[in-house]
A and B are shown apart, each in its own frame.
Chain A
Amino acid sequence: MLGECQQQEARFMDCLEAYGLDRGRKKCTDLFEDYHECQTKTKQFKRFMAMRKERDRQIAEGKLKGDEKYVSPKVDSY
């Protein structure tokens, strides 16, 4: 659990080491974004927010009702 982002970090640091800090800032943005995403999980959270908002909107509008409203996982599966 503590080593989730090791791979992303290693790649980013290798890139920075190769290019130095100034050029590296421009060249390694993709690697940096992957690393940042792994550490903070912002995009995944934003995805969740968008999906949840859409689901609530559809429920309020009446498109989803009854048993189709939610798809719940089993409690001990995560």
Chain B
Amino acid sequence: MSEACQIARKQDLPPPGGYKPIPYKRLPAKQLFSGYTIFAGYIGMTVGAIYLYNLTAKQIKKHEIEMRSAKMAIYPMLLAERDREYLKQIRRNRDAEAELMRDVPGWEVGTYYGERVYKLIPPDTLVEPIFHEYYAHSSPSDWYRRAYIKLRS
């Protein structure tokens, strides 16, 4: 018993001065703005945004109308140009075919070994070529490029 009093042992005691009081009361959230302030802020922001939007909205709308009108105006011309190029190309195709199949026995230009494609139409009518015929004399890379565009658009 005397040894227990002489040696100072380490004990788990409360800190000097005691513990601080435990907070148990409810802590409501901090109110930055009141309800009316929030509504007023929202309306104010909306008004400001509408004003800023309207500064350039008219200009943008006019620009869009202009672009659309221009596109609509030149569209027929572009179609016409495409048709022109198409007709020129089928003429070139015919010439290339004539030159290519010159020595092939039995071949006549525009027919399949003498047999006409459509039998009962007058011989001079234009028979519109299919894609393969149109690209029959083209290099494979151009052909694939066109087919790829068609596939993906």
Residues in A lying within 8 Å of B, measured CB to CB: 11, 30-31, 33-34, 37-38, 41, 43-48, 50-52, 54-55, 58, 69-78
Contacts and interface: CB of A to CB of B under 8 A. Distances in A.
B85 A31 contact: no
Given A33-B119, A74-B85, A77-B86, A47 B133 contact: yes
A71 to B, nearest CB: 4
A51 B136 contact: yes
Contacts of A34: 118-121
Interface residues of B, number: 38
B100 A77 contact: no
Interface in B133-153: 133-139, 142-143, 145-146, 149
A78 B113 CA distance: 26
Contacts of A71: 92-93, 96, 137-138
